[in-house]
Structure 1
Protein backbone atom coordinates (compact mmCIF):
# COMPACT_ATOMS: atom_id res chain seq x y z
CA UNK A 1 0.00 0.00 0.00
CA UNK A 2 1.37 3.41 -0.97
CA UNK A 3 1.94 6.22 1.50
CA UNK A 4 -0.90 8.17 -0.13
CA UNK A 5 -3.29 5.24 0.49
CA UNK A 6 -2.08 4.99 4.09
CA UNK A 7 -2.74 8.68 4.68
CA UNK A 8 -6.16 8.36 3.06
CA UNK A 9 -7.06 5.58 5.52
CA UNK A 10 -5.69 7.63 8.44
CA UNK A 11 -7.76 10.62 7.35
CA UNK A 12 -10.97 8.56 7.25
CA UNK A 13 -10.30 7.09 10.70
CA UNK A 14 -9.62 10.47 12.28
CA UNK A 15 -12.64 12.13 10.64
CA UNK A 16 -14.81 9.37 12.12
CA UNK A 17 -13.58 10.18 15.65
CA UNK A 18 -16.57 10.52 18.05
CA UNK A 19 -17.00 13.78 20.02
CA UNK A 20 -14.05 14.57 22.28
CA UNK A 21 -11.94 11.64 21.09
CA UNK A 22 -9.89 12.95 18.16
CA UNK A 23 -6.69 13.15 20.22
CA UNK A 24 -7.25 9.73 21.81
CA UNK A 25 -7.58 8.06 18.41
CA UNK A 26 -4.64 10.07 17.12
CA UNK A 27 -2.42 8.72 19.92
CA UNK A 28 -3.63 5.17 19.25
CA UNK A 29 -2.62 5.59 15.60
CA UNK A 30 0.80 6.90 16.63
CA UNK A 31 1.36 3.78 18.72
CA UNK A 32 0.53 1.29 15.96
CA UNK A 33 1.74 2.95 12.75
CA UNK A 34 5.10 1.69 11.50
CA UNK A 35 6.00 5.11 10.11
CA UNK A 36 5.45 8.06 12.49
CA UNK A 37 6.06 10.38 9.53
CA UNK A 38 2.59 9.47 8.27
CA UNK A 39 1.26 11.70 11.06
CA UNK A 40 3.39 14.76 10.48
CA UNK A 41 1.99 17.93 12.15
CA UNK A 42 0.75 19.78 9.07
CA UNK A 43 -1.15 16.70 7.85
CA UNK A 44 -2.80 16.23 11.25
CA UNK A 45 -3.62 19.96 11.54
CA UNK A 46 -5.50 19.90 8.23
CA UNK A 47 -7.55 16.86 9.31
CA UNK A 48 -8.26 18.37 12.73
CA UNK A 49 -9.54 21.55 11.08
CA UNK A 50 -11.74 19.48 8.74
CA UNK A 51 -13.06 17.44 11.71
CA UNK A 52 -13.84 20.60 13.70
CA UNK A 53 -15.71 22.08 10.74
CA UNK A 54 -17.66 18.89 10.02
CA UNK A 55 -18.98 18.40 13.56
CA UNK A 56 -19.50 22.11 14.27
CA UNK A 57 -16.77 22.45 16.88
CA UNK A 58 -15.13 25.23 14.86
CA UNK A 59 -17.76 27.57 16.34
CA UNK A 60 -16.07 27.38 19.76
CA UNK A 61 -13.05 29.67 19.15
CA UNK A 62 -15.29 32.32 17.61
CA UNK A 63 -18.12 31.95 20.12
CA UNK A 64 -20.32 35.02 19.91
CA UNK A 65 -17.88 36.95 17.71
CA UNK A 66 -19.79 39.52 15.71
CA UNK A 67 -17.08 39.59 13.07
CA UNK A 68 -15.95 42.58 11.07
CA UNK A 69 -19.09 43.23 9.04
CA UNK A 70 -20.11 46.83 8.54
CA UNK A 71 -23.04 48.76 7.16
CA UNK A 72 -26.68 47.70 7.45
CA UNK A 73 -25.98 44.05 8.37
CA UNK A 74 -23.89 45.03 11.40
CA UNK A 75 -26.91 45.67 13.60
CA UNK A 76 -28.40 42.29 12.65
CA UNK A 77 -25.21 40.54 13.77
CA UNK A 78 -24.92 42.49 17.02
CA UNK A 79 -28.58 41.95 17.92
CA UNK A 80 -28.51 38.20 17.20
CA UNK A 81 -25.18 37.75 18.97
CA UNK A 82 -26.56 39.29 22.16
CA UNK A 83 -29.71 37.14 21.97
CA UNK A 84 -27.66 33.97 21.37
CA UNK A 85 -25.35 34.78 24.29
CA UNK A 86 -28.40 34.82 26.55
CA UNK A 87 -29.83 31.67 24.94
CA UNK A 88 -26.69 29.63 25.51
CA UNK A 89 -26.20 30.95 29.04
CA UNK A 90 -29.78 29.97 29.90
CA UNK A 91 -30.02 26.58 28.20
CA UNK A 92 -26.49 25.19 28.01
CA UNK A 93 -25.08 25.92 31.46
CA UNK A 94 -25.25 22.40 32.93
CA UNK A 95 -22.02 21.03 34.47
CA UNK A 96 -19.78 19.45 31.86
CA UNK A 97 -21.49 21.13 28.90
CA UNK A 98 -19.44 23.33 26.60
CA UNK A 99 -21.29 25.51 24.10
CA UNK A 100 -20.59 28.38 21.71
CA UNK A 101 -22.04 30.17 18.72
CA UNK A 102 -20.95 32.30 15.80
CA UNK A 103 -23.03 34.79 13.80
CA UNK A 104 -22.08 35.82 10.27
CA UNK A 105 -23.84 37.65 7.44
CA UNK A 106 -23.82 37.82 3.67
CA UNK A 107 -25.71 39.99 1.19
CA UNK A 108 -27.01 38.89 -2.21
CA UNK A 109 -28.86 41.41 -4.40
CA UNK A 110 -29.12 43.73 -1.39
CA UNK A 111 -30.90 41.00 0.60
CA UNK A 112 -29.05 40.11 3.81
CA UNK A 113 -28.86 36.54 5.08
CA UNK A 114 -27.75 35.79 8.63
CA UNK A 115 -26.13 32.49 9.57
CA UNK A 116 -26.01 31.30 13.18
CA UNK A 117 -23.70 28.36 13.87
CA UNK A 118 -24.13 26.72 17.26
CA UNK A 119 -22.25 23.89 18.91
CA UNK A 120 -22.61 22.14 22.24
CA UNK A 121 -20.85 19.09 23.63
CA UNK A 122 -20.73 17.05 26.78
CA UNK A 123 -17.72 14.77 26.99
CA UNK A 124 -17.88 12.30 29.87
CA UNK A 125 -15.40 9.59 28.92
CA UNK A 126 -15.00 8.50 32.55
CA UNK A 127 -18.62 7.31 32.37
CA UNK A 128 -18.16 5.98 28.83
CA UNK A 129 -20.22 8.50 26.90
CA UNK A 130 -19.96 11.64 24.81
CA UNK A 131 -22.33 13.71 22.74
CA UNK A 132 -22.35 16.78 20.53
CA UNK A 133 -25.01 19.04 19.02
CA UNK A 134 -24.44 21.11 15.89
CA UNK A 135 -26.90 23.66 14.56
CA UNK A 136 -26.77 25.88 11.49
CA UNK A 137 -29.59 28.40 11.05
CA UNK A 138 -30.01 30.67 8.04
CA UNK A 139 -32.30 33.65 8.54
CA UNK A 140 -33.57 36.20 6.04
CA UNK A 141 -34.74 39.22 8.10
CA UNK A 142 -36.65 40.87 5.26
CA UNK A 143 -38.80 37.79 4.54
CA UNK A 144 -38.82 36.31 8.02
CA UNK A 145 -37.81 32.85 6.81
CA UNK A 146 -35.52 30.67 8.92
CA UNK A 147 -34.04 27.35 7.85
CA UNK A 148 -32.29 25.07 10.32
CA UNK A 149 -29.96 22.10 9.94
CA UNK A 150 -29.31 20.16 13.15
CA UNK A 151 -26.83 17.30 13.61
CA UNK A 152 -26.74 15.13 16.71
CA UNK A 153 -23.84 12.76 17.42
CA UNK A 154 -23.92 10.49 20.47
CA UNK A 155 -21.44 7.80 21.48
CA UNK A 156 -21.36 5.30 24.31
CA UNK A 157 -19.01 2.41 24.95
CA UNK A 158 -18.47 -0.14 27.70
CA UNK A 159 -16.79 -3.52 28.03
CA UNK A 160 -16.18 -3.81 24.30
CA UNK A 161 -19.60 -2.44 23.33
CA UNK A 162 -19.52 0.55 21.02
CA UNK A 163 -22.71 2.33 19.96
CA UNK A 164 -22.95 5.55 17.98
CA UNK A 165 -25.97 7.49 16.79
CA UNK A 166 -25.70 10.20 14.17
CA UNK A 167 -28.86 12.06 13.17
CA UNK A 168 -29.44 14.98 10.79
CA UNK A 169 -32.62 17.07 10.91
CA UNK A 170 -33.85 19.80 8.54
CA UNK A 171 -36.39 22.38 9.76
CA UNK A 172 -38.17 25.48 8.39
CA UNK A 173 -40.27 28.26 9.91
CA UNK A 174 -41.43 31.80 9.17
CA UNK A 175 -41.09 34.64 11.68
CA UNK A 176 -41.95 38.32 11.64
CA UNK A 177 -39.92 40.54 9.33
CA UNK A 178 -37.21 42.95 10.40
CA UNK A 179 -35.65 45.73 8.34
CA UNK A 180 -32.71 48.07 8.77
CA UNK A 181 -35.11 50.94 9.41
CA UNK A 182 -36.64 49.31 12.49
CA UNK A 183 -35.72 50.72 15.88
CA UNK A 184 -33.58 49.00 18.48
CA UNK A 185 -36.61 47.74 20.42
CA UNK A 186 -38.06 46.06 17.31
CA UNK A 187 -34.68 44.54 16.44
CA UNK A 188 -34.29 43.19 19.96
CA UNK A 189 -37.79 41.68 19.86
CA UNK A 190 -37.07 40.10 16.47
CA UNK A 191 -33.77 38.59 17.68
CA UNK A 192 -35.53 37.14 20.72
CA UNK A 193 -38.12 35.56 18.41
CA UNK A 194 -35.30 33.94 16.41
CA UNK A 195 -33.67 32.44 19.50
CA UNK A 196 -37.07 31.24 20.78
CA UNK A 197 -37.60 29.39 17.51
CA UNK A 198 -34.12 27.87 17.73
CA UNK A 199 -34.75 26.89 21.34
CA UNK A 200 -38.08 25.29 20.42
CA UNK A 201 -36.43 23.21 17.70
CA UNK A 202 -33.67 22.16 20.06
CA UNK A 203 -36.10 21.08 22.76
CA UNK A 204 -38.36 19.16 20.37
CA UNK A 205 -35.53 17.29 18.69
CA UNK A 206 -33.70 16.47 21.92
CA UNK A 207 -36.92 15.21 23.51
CA UNK A 208 -37.62 13.14 20.40
CA UNK A 209 -34.31 11.31 20.44
CA UNK A 210 -33.25 11.49 24.12
CA UNK A 211 -29.90 10.98 22.48
CA UNK A 212 -27.34 11.67 25.13
CA UNK A 213 -29.01 10.11 28.16
CA UNK A 214 -30.83 7.14 26.63
CA UNK A 215 -28.13 5.70 24.42
CA UNK A 216 -26.00 4.74 27.42
CA UNK A 217 -28.88 3.09 29.26
CA UNK A 218 -29.83 1.20 26.09
CA UNK A 219 -26.37 -0.34 25.93
CA UNK A 220 -26.62 -1.40 29.58
CA UNK A 221 -29.95 -3.12 28.88
CA UNK A 222 -28.41 -5.04 26.00
CA UNK A 223 -25.53 -6.51 27.98
CA UNK A 224 -25.88 -9.47 30.35
CA UNK A 225 -26.23 -8.44 33.95
CA UNK A 226 -24.70 -10.55 36.73
CA UNK A 227 -27.35 -12.33 38.85
CA UNK A 228 -27.67 -11.72 42.59
CA UNK A 229 -25.33 -14.67 43.24
CA UNK A 230 -22.59 -12.69 41.44
CA UNK A 231 -21.70 -15.81 39.43
CA UNK A 232 -21.83 -16.07 35.67
CA UNK A 233 -24.74 -17.89 34.08
CA UNK A 234 -23.86 -21.35 32.74
CA UNK A 235 -25.15 -21.35 29.17
CA UNK A 236 -25.27 -25.16 28.85
CA UNK A 237 -28.67 -26.13 27.43
CA UNK A 238 -28.27 -29.91 28.02
CA UNK A 239 -27.31 -29.39 31.65
CA UNK A 240 -30.42 -27.29 32.25
CA UNK A 241 -32.63 -29.89 30.55
CA UNK A 242 -31.23 -32.67 32.76
CA UNK A 243 -31.80 -30.55 35.87
CA UNK A 244 -35.37 -29.80 34.78
CA UNK A 245 -36.07 -33.52 34.14
CA UNK A 246 -34.73 -34.57 37.53
CA UNK A 247 -36.77 -31.86 39.23
CA UNK A 248 -39.96 -33.01 37.51
CA UNK A 249 -39.24 -36.61 38.56
CA UNK A 250 -39.15 -35.61 42.22
CA UNK A 251 -42.21 -33.36 42.13
CA UNK A 252 -44.62 -35.58 44.07
CA UNK A 253 -47.31 -32.94 44.35
CA UNK A 254 -48.14 -33.03 40.66
CA UNK A 255 -49.36 -36.65 40.94
CA UNK A 256 -51.88 -35.83 43.65
CA UNK A 257 -55.52 -35.61 42.64
Structure 2
Protein backbone atom coordinates (compact mmCIF):
# COMPACT_ATOMS: atom_id res chain seq x y z
CA UNK A 1 0.00 0.00 0.00
CA UNK A 2 1.32 3.48 -0.92
CA UNK A 3 2.24 5.91 1.86
CA UNK A 4 -0.63 8.31 1.09
CA UNK A 5 -3.10 5.40 1.12
CA UNK A 6 -1.85 4.29 4.52
CA UNK A 7 -2.15 7.84 5.84
CA UNK A 8 -5.70 8.11 4.47
CA UNK A 9 -6.60 4.83 6.13
CA UNK A 10 -5.11 6.09 9.41
CA UNK A 11 -7.15 9.31 9.15
CA UNK A 12 -10.33 7.33 8.55
CA UNK A 13 -9.66 5.31 11.70
CA UNK A 14 -9.00 8.47 13.72
CA UNK A 15 -12.22 10.14 12.59
CA UNK A 16 -14.16 7.12 13.84
CA UNK A 17 -12.48 7.02 17.25
CA UNK A 18 -14.88 6.43 20.16
CA UNK A 19 -15.09 9.08 22.90
CA UNK A 20 -11.88 9.40 24.91
CA UNK A 21 -10.06 6.72 22.92
CA UNK A 22 -8.39 8.68 20.13
CA UNK A 23 -4.95 8.33 21.73
CA UNK A 24 -5.35 4.55 21.75
CA UNK A 25 -6.33 4.61 18.09
CA UNK A 26 -3.45 6.96 17.31
CA UNK A 27 -0.94 4.62 18.98
CA UNK A 28 -2.31 1.68 16.99
CA UNK A 29 -2.05 3.43 13.63
CA UNK A 30 1.38 4.70 14.61
CA UNK A 31 2.56 1.10 14.82
CA UNK A 32 1.07 0.42 11.39
CA UNK A 33 2.55 3.49 9.65
CA UNK A 34 6.00 3.18 11.34
CA UNK A 35 6.93 6.70 10.23
CA UNK A 36 6.26 9.34 12.89
CA UNK A 37 7.21 12.30 10.69
CA UNK A 38 4.93 11.20 7.87
CA UNK A 39 2.16 10.32 10.31
CA UNK A 40 2.24 13.67 12.12
CA UNK A 41 2.20 15.60 8.86
CA UNK A 42 -0.67 13.57 7.45
CA UNK A 43 -3.00 13.28 10.43
CA UNK A 44 -3.10 16.88 11.71
CA UNK A 45 -6.00 17.81 9.37
CA UNK A 46 -7.90 14.70 10.50
CA UNK A 47 -7.26 15.48 14.17
CA UNK A 48 -8.53 19.02 13.60
CA UNK A 49 -11.72 17.71 11.96
CA UNK A 50 -12.20 15.27 14.82
CA UNK A 51 -11.67 17.89 17.54
CA UNK A 52 -14.14 20.30 15.93
CA UNK A 53 -16.80 17.66 15.32
CA UNK A 54 -16.50 16.14 18.79
CA UNK A 55 -16.57 19.48 20.68
CA UNK A 56 -13.23 18.77 22.34
CA UNK A 57 -12.84 20.85 25.50
CA UNK A 58 -9.74 22.70 26.63
CA UNK A 59 -8.62 24.50 29.78
CA UNK A 60 -8.63 28.19 28.98
CA UNK A 61 -5.44 29.98 30.05
CA UNK A 62 -5.80 32.40 32.97
CA UNK A 63 -9.28 31.06 33.85
CA UNK A 64 -10.70 28.22 35.95
CA UNK A 65 -13.04 26.75 33.35
CA UNK A 66 -13.02 24.89 30.04
CA UNK A 67 -14.23 25.99 26.64
CA UNK A 68 -15.39 24.08 23.56
CA UNK A 69 -13.36 23.84 20.36
CA UNK A 70 -15.83 24.04 17.46
CA UNK A 71 -16.62 25.87 14.25
CA UNK A 72 -18.48 28.48 16.27
CA UNK A 73 -15.34 29.13 18.33
CA UNK A 74 -13.05 29.59 15.32
CA UNK A 75 -11.51 33.04 14.84
CA UNK A 76 -9.21 33.56 11.86
CA UNK A 77 -6.73 36.39 11.47
CA UNK A 78 -4.15 36.88 8.79
CA UNK A 79 -3.64 34.20 6.17
CA UNK A 80 -5.96 31.22 6.42
CA UNK A 81 -3.14 29.05 5.10
CA UNK A 82 -1.07 29.65 8.20
CA UNK A 83 -2.19 27.40 11.03
CA UNK A 84 -0.33 29.55 13.54
CA UNK A 85 -2.63 32.47 12.71
CA UNK A 86 -5.79 30.60 13.63
CA UNK A 87 -7.27 31.50 16.99
CA UNK A 88 -10.19 30.25 19.03
CA UNK A 89 -12.69 32.10 21.18
CA UNK A 90 -13.74 31.52 24.75
CA UNK A 91 -16.75 33.84 24.98
CA UNK A 92 -17.12 33.29 28.74
CA UNK A 93 -13.76 34.90 29.58
CA UNK A 94 -13.70 37.12 26.48
CA UNK A 95 -10.35 35.71 25.47
CA UNK A 96 -8.95 34.24 22.29
CA UNK A 97 -6.17 31.66 22.21
CA UNK A 98 -4.09 29.36 20.04
CA UNK A 99 -4.98 25.67 20.18
CA UNK A 100 -2.67 22.71 19.58
CA UNK A 101 -4.77 19.96 17.97
CA UNK A 102 -2.24 17.26 18.84
CA UNK A 103 -1.37 18.17 22.44
CA UNK A 104 -4.92 19.49 23.06
CA UNK A 105 -3.54 22.55 24.83
CA UNK A 106 -4.39 26.25 24.64
CA UNK A 107 -1.81 29.03 24.75
CA UNK A 108 -1.24 32.73 24.08
CA UNK A 109 -4.46 34.13 25.59
CA UNK A 110 -5.42 37.59 24.39
CA UNK A 111 -8.40 39.85 25.16
CA UNK A 112 -11.34 39.67 22.77
CA UNK A 113 -13.85 42.48 22.31
CA UNK A 114 -17.36 41.11 21.64
CA UNK A 115 -20.16 42.94 19.87
CA UNK A 116 -21.77 44.78 22.79
CA UNK A 117 -25.11 45.04 20.95
CA UNK A 118 -25.69 41.31 21.49
CA UNK A 119 -23.53 40.58 24.51
CA UNK A 120 -26.26 41.08 27.13
CA UNK A 121 -28.45 38.36 25.64
CA UNK A 122 -25.46 36.06 25.02
CA UNK A 123 -24.36 36.34 28.66
CA UNK A 124 -27.91 35.58 29.83
CA UNK A 125 -27.99 32.49 27.63
CA UNK A 126 -24.57 31.46 28.96
CA UNK A 127 -25.63 31.80 32.61
CA UNK A 128 -28.81 29.79 32.01
CA UNK A 129 -26.78 27.05 30.30
CA UNK A 130 -24.37 26.83 33.25
CA UNK A 131 -27.31 26.35 35.61
CA UNK A 132 -28.62 23.66 33.26
CA UNK A 133 -25.28 21.86 33.40
CA UNK A 134 -25.33 21.83 37.20
CA UNK A 135 -28.75 20.19 37.16
CA UNK A 136 -28.21 17.57 34.45
CA UNK A 137 -24.60 17.00 33.39
CA UNK A 138 -21.72 15.74 35.49
CA UNK A 139 -18.59 17.68 34.47
CA UNK A 140 -20.38 19.11 31.43
CA UNK A 141 -19.11 22.13 29.48
CA UNK A 142 -21.14 24.73 27.63
CA UNK A 143 -20.32 27.71 25.43
CA UNK A 144 -22.67 30.39 24.12
CA UNK A 145 -21.60 32.38 21.06
CA UNK A 146 -22.98 35.33 19.16
CA UNK A 147 -23.07 34.43 15.47
CA UNK A 148 -20.29 36.47 13.90
CA UNK A 149 -22.13 36.84 10.58
CA UNK A 150 -25.83 36.97 11.52
CA UNK A 151 -27.13 39.58 14.00
CA UNK A 152 -29.52 38.38 16.73
CA UNK A 153 -28.50 34.77 16.22
CA UNK A 154 -26.78 32.81 18.97
CA UNK A 155 -25.15 29.38 19.12
CA UNK A 156 -25.34 27.30 22.29
CA UNK A 157 -23.20 24.18 22.60
CA UNK A 158 -23.11 21.55 25.34
CA UNK A 159 -20.78 18.59 25.70
CA UNK A 160 -20.50 16.01 28.48
CA UNK A 161 -17.98 13.17 28.58
CA UNK A 162 -17.87 10.05 30.72
CA UNK A 163 -14.90 7.71 30.43
CA UNK A 164 -14.80 4.48 32.39
CA UNK A 165 -11.98 2.31 30.96
CA UNK A 166 -11.94 0.15 34.10
CA UNK A 167 -15.39 -1.10 33.14
CA UNK A 168 -14.70 -0.95 29.38
CA UNK A 169 -17.05 1.84 28.30
CA UNK A 170 -17.00 5.50 27.33
CA UNK A 171 -19.61 8.00 26.20
CA UNK A 172 -20.12 11.52 24.93
CA UNK A 173 -23.21 13.74 24.72
CA UNK A 174 -23.12 16.71 22.36
CA UNK A 175 -25.87 19.19 21.61
CA UNK A 176 -25.88 22.38 19.58
CA UNK A 177 -28.70 24.92 19.29
CA UNK A 178 -29.08 27.94 17.05
CA UNK A 179 -31.27 30.48 18.82
CA UNK A 180 -32.58 32.86 16.17
CA UNK A 181 -34.37 35.94 17.47
CA UNK A 182 -35.06 37.07 13.90
CA UNK A 183 -37.39 34.20 12.96
CA UNK A 184 -38.21 33.19 16.57
CA UNK A 185 -36.88 29.64 16.39
CA UNK A 186 -34.50 27.25 18.11
CA UNK A 187 -33.01 24.63 15.84
CA UNK A 188 -30.80 22.02 17.39
CA UNK A 189 -29.03 18.71 17.06
CA UNK A 190 -28.26 16.12 19.72
CA UNK A 191 -25.48 13.61 19.12
CA UNK A 192 -24.79 10.67 21.42
CA UNK A 193 -21.85 8.26 21.17
CA UNK A 194 -21.30 5.31 23.50
CA UNK A 195 -18.69 2.56 23.21
CA UNK A 196 -18.79 -0.69 25.21
CA UNK A 197 -15.91 -3.05 24.62
CA UNK A 198 -15.70 -5.71 27.33
CA UNK A 199 -15.17 -9.00 25.47
CA UNK A 200 -16.67 -7.41 22.37
CA UNK A 201 -17.13 -4.14 20.52
CA UNK A 202 -20.54 -2.43 20.61
CA UNK A 203 -21.04 1.20 19.64
CA UNK A 204 -24.03 3.52 19.73
CA UNK A 205 -24.08 6.59 17.48
CA UNK A 206 -27.27 8.64 17.23
CA UNK A 207 -28.29 12.01 15.81
CA UNK A 208 -31.54 13.74 16.72
CA UNK A 209 -32.81 17.04 15.30
CA UNK A 210 -34.96 19.49 17.24
CA UNK A 211 -36.99 22.48 16.08
CA UNK A 212 -38.77 24.74 18.57
CA UNK A 213 -40.88 27.82 17.91
CA UNK A 214 -40.13 30.66 20.31
CA UNK A 215 -43.30 32.26 21.72
CA UNK A 216 -43.41 36.06 21.34
CA UNK A 217 -43.49 36.41 25.13
CA UNK A 218 -39.99 34.93 25.34
CA UNK A 219 -38.58 37.04 22.51
CA UNK A 220 -39.82 40.26 24.10
CA UNK A 221 -38.87 39.30 27.67
CA UNK A 222 -35.77 40.57 29.44
CA UNK A 223 -32.54 38.78 28.46
CA UNK A 224 -32.31 37.02 31.85
CA UNK A 225 -35.89 35.77 31.68
CA UNK A 226 -35.59 34.80 28.02
CA UNK A 227 -32.38 32.84 28.65
CA UNK A 228 -33.96 30.86 31.49
CA UNK A 229 -37.10 30.08 29.47
CA UNK A 230 -35.10 29.04 26.39
CA UNK A 231 -33.08 26.57 28.47
CA UNK A 232 -36.34 25.27 29.95
CA UNK A 233 -37.57 24.50 26.43
CA UNK A 234 -34.28 22.78 25.63
CA UNK A 235 -34.47 20.83 28.88
CA UNK A 236 -37.91 19.51 27.95
CA UNK A 237 -36.80 18.36 24.50
CA UNK A 238 -33.61 16.74 25.75
CA UNK A 239 -35.57 14.99 28.49
CA UNK A 240 -37.97 13.57 25.90
CA UNK A 241 -35.08 12.30 23.82
CA UNK A 242 -33.36 10.73 26.82
CA UNK A 243 -36.59 8.91 27.73
CA UNK A 244 -37.02 7.72 24.15
CA UNK A 245 -33.50 6.25 24.22
CA UNK A 246 -34.27 4.47 27.48
CA UNK A 247 -37.50 3.04 26.05
CA UNK A 248 -35.78 1.95 22.83
CA UNK A 249 -33.04 0.03 24.60
CA UNK A 250 -35.42 -1.54 27.05
CA UNK A 251 -37.42 -2.84 24.10
CA UNK A 252 -34.27 -4.01 22.34
CA UNK A 253 -33.19 -5.91 25.43
CA UNK A 254 -36.56 -7.58 25.87
CA UNK A 255 -37.35 -8.31 22.21
CA UNK A 256 -34.62 -7.72 19.63
CA UNK A 257 -31.64 -9.11 21.54
CA UNK A 258 -33.69 -11.93 23.02
CA UNK A 259 -34.48 -13.24 19.55
CA UNK A 260 -30.77 -13.28 18.74
CA UNK A 261 -29.50 -15.21 21.74
CA UNK A 262 -30.16 -18.61 23.26
CA UNK A 263 -32.87 -18.40 25.87
CA UNK A 264 -31.92 -18.86 29.51
CA UNK A 265 -33.01 -22.08 31.25
CA UNK A 266 -36.08 -22.12 33.46
CA UNK A 267 -33.99 -21.00 36.43
CA UNK A 268 -33.27 -17.72 34.55
CA UNK A 269 -29.61 -18.29 35.46
CA UNK A 270 -26.73 -18.48 33.03
CA UNK A 271 -25.07 -21.84 32.63
CA UNK A 272 -21.48 -22.01 33.84
CA UNK A 273 -19.89 -23.90 30.97
CA UNK A 274 -16.72 -24.57 32.93
CA UNK A 275 -18.77 -26.68 35.34
CA UNK A 276 -20.95 -28.37 32.75
CA UNK A 277 -19.17 -31.74 33.18
CA UNK A 278 -19.79 -31.48 36.88
CA UNK A 279 -23.48 -30.90 36.24
CA UNK A 280 -23.63 -33.98 34.02
CA UNK A 281 -21.74 -36.15 36.53
CA UNK A 282 -24.05 -35.01 39.32
CA UNK A 283 -27.10 -35.92 37.26
CA UNK A 284 -25.72 -39.38 36.52
CA UNK A 285 -24.91 -40.01 40.19
CA UNK A 286 -28.39 -38.89 41.18
CA UNK A 287 -29.91 -41.22 38.59
CA UNK A 288 -27.74 -44.17 39.73
CA UNK A 289 -28.62 -43.56 43.34
CA UNK A 290 -32.31 -43.64 42.51
CA UNK A 291 -31.94 -46.97 40.64
CA UNK A 292 -29.89 -48.47 43.48
CA UNK A 293 -32.46 -47.47 46.10
CA UNK A 294 -35.43 -48.76 44.09
CA UNK A 295 -33.73 -52.15 43.55
CA UNK A 296 -33.34 -52.91 47.27
CA UNK A 297 -36.34 -51.25 48.80
TM over 0.5: same fold?
yes
8 A contact 2:178–2:187 mirrored in 1 = yes
Determine if contact 2:7/2:43 at 8 Å carries over to the other structure: no
8 Å Cα contact 2:121/2:224 also seen in 1: no
Take 2:166 and 2:91, find their aligned partners in 1: how far apart are those partners?
Answer: 30
SS in 1 for 2:215: coil
Matches of 2:180 and 2:43, distance apart in 1: 37
Structure 1 alignment gaps of length 5 or more:
252-257
1:166 aligns with 2:230: no
How many residues align? The count is 230
Give me the TM-score of the superposition, normalised by structure 1.
0.73
Which residue in the other structure is 1:34 paired with? 34
**Is structure 2 residue 128 aligned with structure 1 residue 83?**
yes
Moved more, 145-154 or 185-194: 185-194
Equivalent residues of 1:115, 1:136 under 8 A apart? yes
Give 1:24 shift: 1.2
CA distance in 2 between counterparts of 1:204 and 1:228 reads 35
Q: Distance in 1 between matches of 2:208 and 2:195?
A: 18
In 2, the alpha carbon distance for the partners of 1:232 and 1:64 equals 59
Give the alignment's TM-score, normalised by structure 2.
0.64
* Alignment match of 1:132 (pick from 168, 172, 175): 172
Deviation at 1:54, TM superposition (A): 1.3
Contact kept in structure 2, 1:139 and 1:146, CA below 8 Å: yes
- Local SS of the residue matching 2:20: coil
1:120 counterpart = 2:156: no
Shift of 1:60: 3.1
Q: Gaps (5+ residues) in structure 2?
A: 58-66, 70-88, 95-111, 292-297
What is residue 103 of structure 1 aligned with on the other side? Answer: 145
- Paired residues of 2:171 and 2:195 also in contact (CA < 8 A): yes
- Which secondary structure does the structure 1 equivalent of 2:19 belong to? coil
Within 1, Cα distance between the matches of 2:146 and 2:129?
13
Q: Is the 8 A contact 2:122 2:144 kept in 1?
A: no
Aligned alpha-carbon RMSD (Å): 3.9
Give the equivalent residue in structure 2 for 1:72.
117
Does 1:22 find its partner at 2:22?
A: yes
Q: Tell me the residue number matched to 2:98.
A: none
Aligned to 1:51: 50
